[in-house]
Amino acid sequence: MQLDLNQLCELLTVLDKTGISELTLKSGDLELTVRKGVLASSPGTAAALPAAAATVAPIALGAVASPTLASPPAVDQNAGSALAEAPAAAPAALPASVDPKWVPIISPMVGTFYRAAAPDEPPFVNVGDRIKVSQTVCIIEAMKLMNEIDADEVSGQVMEILVQNGEPVEYGQVLMRINPD
């Protein structure tokens, strides 16, 4: 059986009512990833949703990597009912190396992460560096504007930098973690 628009809408509705934040379906050449609260803005993502699917506001389609999108392969009809019966996903646990007292520095916007002011400049911070309150720790480029991101109210030691230079970042994404003083 092929996945039609009605089945896709049903799947999106079921996902919206659960605690599941991401689901990937793979079948043949079709790979469909559905994420709650994430806009499809990176290359290779669906640029426009069908009108019926667009009514489920908090869910966006992403990473549809199929050259044969017009003829999607069969999808198991029981997948939707299995999702409806699945318990809500538990929040992902922090990796064992992350100390709960570490303070995350979170991206306030969508854009491109840069560790330095220019390619030939040294990074603002490295893992192990000590930072002060309001010190610039990175730049996020959004709409051709370079936005300095500061360690607003935390001073301490940089324990992790979770984003590579030049990578896209999402609103609310953890950029780095600081062990506060």
Q: Compute CA distances 3 → 67, 82, 91, 92, 170, whole Å.
A: 16, 16, 29, 29, 29
Which of 159, 145, 170 is closest to 137 using CA atoms?
159
Tens of pLDDT, residue by residue over 143-166, are 999 999 999 889 999 999 999 999
At position 122, the amino acid (one-letter code) is: P
Length of the chain: 181
Q: 15, exposed or middle or buried, with CB in 10 Å at 0-12, 13-18, 19+? A: buried
Tens of pLDDT, residue by residue over 62-109, are 434 333 333 344 444 444 444 444 444 444 444 556 778 899 999 999
At position 74, the amino acid (one-letter code) is: A
Q: What is the pTM of this model?
A: 0.48
